[in-house]
Amino acid sequence: MSQQFSEQEQIRRESLLALRNMGIEPYPAASFEISHSAATILKQFPEQPDSFKHVSLAGRVMGKRIMGKASFAVIQDSTSKIQIYVKGDEICPGEDKSLYEEVFKKHLDIGDIIGVKGYVFTTKTGETSIHVSEFSLLSKSLRPLPIVKTDADGNVHDAFTDSEQRYRMRYVDLIVNPDVREVFIKRTKLVNTIRTFLNSFGYIEVETPILQPLYGGAAARPFKTHHNALDMTLYMRIANELYLKRLIVGGYDGVYEFSKDFRNEGMDRFHNPEFTQVEFYAAYKDYIWMMDFVEEMIEKVAIEVNGTTEVQVGNNLISFKRPWKRFTMFEAIEHFTGIDISNMDEKEIYNTAKTLKVHVDATMGKGKLIDEIFGEKCEPFLIQPTFITDYPVEMSPLAKKHRSKEGLVERFEAICNGKEMLNSFSELNDPIDQRHRFESQLELGKRGDEEAMQLDEDFLRALEYGMPPTAGIGIGIDRLTMIMTNQHAIQDVLFFPHMRPEAK
C-alpha cells in the first residue's frame, strides 16, 4: 500500500533526495562528539566567558531566520534551547558555498537534528549564542513539527495541546513541550530517592514473577493468558505481595520491588491497566513502625524532587512535613458523615449507605460496604496527607488482626489530595487465620465479587514454615508522581498510557 504524504512531507522528501544527490548523507553513521549542553552554556558563559572558546553541541532545529549571507537558528538539546549564528563564509571557506546556500538555507528544516562547533558569544541584543565554524546534518526530519506560536504577552502556544494526540505521539509532545520532559525527570528522581532510602537501611531490591499461576495480593480483576508449552492458564500479576512475603519466610530482613502490575479494570484519570508500584516488606516490624518510616521517606521524596516539603497540587498547597494527621477509618466516617458505624452489622451498614446515597448492591459484604462509604464520603475531602488506620477485617484478608480492637486489622492507608497514595499492613503470618480469610474471599466470589482473592495453597504452605512479624507497604508510583509534579491525570506521568486503537 502506497504511503500518502502531505504537501509539507513531500517537500521534505524532495529535500532529502536533493541532499543525497549532493553527496550528503542525511543519516550519517559516525558519532558526533558533544562537549557542552545548552543549559551549561547558558548558565556558565556569563560568569566564565573564556571557558567556551571551543564548544561542540548537537540538537534539533526549532527555529531559523535567514539574513542573506548570515543566519540565525535555534537548536534544542535535552537540556534547553540556544541560539546559533551561522555565517556562510565561515562554514564554507573558499569558492564552494553549497553547504550554506544549498544545505543550511535551502534544505535545512525545523525539526532536523544538527551538530555544530564554534565559540560562544553575546549578540548585540544580549543573547548568549554559538558562533558556528562547523556544521553537520545528523538526521533529517520528514514530518513538520507542530507550529509553535508566541502571543503578545510572551506566552508560548503550540498546535499540539490535544491530550489524545499528546499521549499517542509522546515523542512529539516531548519535543514541543519541554515542561513534559521535566515531569519525567522528576519521576526518575522520585524513584531513585525511594530506592536510595531503602538501600540505606540495608534492604535489598528483588524481582518476582509477572506471569503467575494464581493472582493475589490485591482485590482486582486480572489479565489472563495461556502458556502453550505448559498448557496452562497464567495471569499477569495484580500485585507482588505474596511472592515478596515468601522471601521474608526465606530469611531476608527486608525486600522491595519496583513492579509493573496489571489490572483488567476501567480506565480514567487515576487508573491505567498497567501501572507501577513499589512494595516493601520489613521483618520484625509492624504497621506503627511503618507509618513513621514512610512519613520520613515521602518527606524526603518531596524535598529531593521539589526542594521543599510543600507541593502545589492544583489549588491546594500540600505539606509533606512530618507528622501527618491520623484517623481510624471509623473516626473518619463519623467525622465526615456524623454517623458512627463501628458497632453496626452488615444490614445496618447497607441501610446507612443507602441513607447516605452511596451506591451499593447485594453482592457487597460488610467490608466492601464500609469501603464504599469511606470512598465517597471521606476520601475526596482528605487533601493533606492523612493516615487512615484500623480497617475492618472483612476489607483486609492479608492483614493481621488488631492487637486490641475486635473485628479490625492493623492496616493503614495514606490519603492525599483526595486519593489513596499507599497501603500498608502488619502482615498476617498466622497460616490458619490466613486460610480462613482466603475461604471467606471464595465465598464473596460466589456472591459475584469479581475482585475477591483466590486461595493460594503454596503461599499458605510458605506461612506454615513460619514468617516473622512483618510490616508491608505498597506505594503507587504513578499517583505519587502526579502529586509531586502537579499533574491532574495518570496519563500525564506515563510515557505511553494505554489508549483505544487509533482511528484510521
pLDDT digits over 474-483, tens only?
Answer: 999 999 999 9
pLDDT tens by residue, 353-378: 999 999 999 888 888 899 999 999 99
For position 334, what pLDDT does the model report? 97
Same domain, 139 and 208: no
Backbone torsion region of residue 154, taken as left when φ is above 0, otherwise alpha when ψ lies between -120 and 50, otherwise beta: left
DSSP E strands in 77-202: the ranges are 81-87, 113-122, 128-139, 148-150, 156-158
In a domain, 222, yes or no: yes
For position 176, what pLDDT does the model report? 93
Show which of 145, 164, 197 is a domain's final residue.
145
Averaged pLDDT, 254-259: 98
Same domain, 77 and 201: no
What is the total count of domains within the chain?
Answer: 2
Averaged pLDDT, 326-341: 96
Cell 488506620 sits on residue: 389
In a domain, 339, yes or no: no
Domain extent, residue 12, equals: 7-145
Same domain, 195 and 119: no
Same domain, 239 and 317: yes
Same domain, 136 and 241: no
In a domain, 330, yes or no: no
In a domain, 60, yes or no: yes
**Which residues are within 8 A (CB) of 196 and not within 5 positions of it... i.e. 6 or more apart?**
none
pLDDT tens by residue, 77-115: 999 999 999 998 888 766 677 888 889 999 999 999 999
pTM of the model: 0.90
CATH code, domain with 281: 3.30.930.10
Same domain, 134 and 202: no
**Which residues are within 8 A (CB) of 102 and not within 5 positions of it... i.e. 6 or more apart?**
18, 22
Same domain, 124 and 265: no
In a domain, 179, yes or no: no
Averaged pLDDT, 468-491: 97
pLDDT tens by residue, 277-312: 999 999 999 999 999 999 999 999 999 999 999 999
User: What is residue 3's DSSP assignment?
Assistant: P
In a domain, 46, yes or no: yes
For position 196, what pLDDT does the model report? 98
In a domain, 502, yes or no: no
Same domain, 127 and 214: no
Sign of torsion, CA 292 298 303 304?
Answer: positive
Same domain, 211 and 98: no
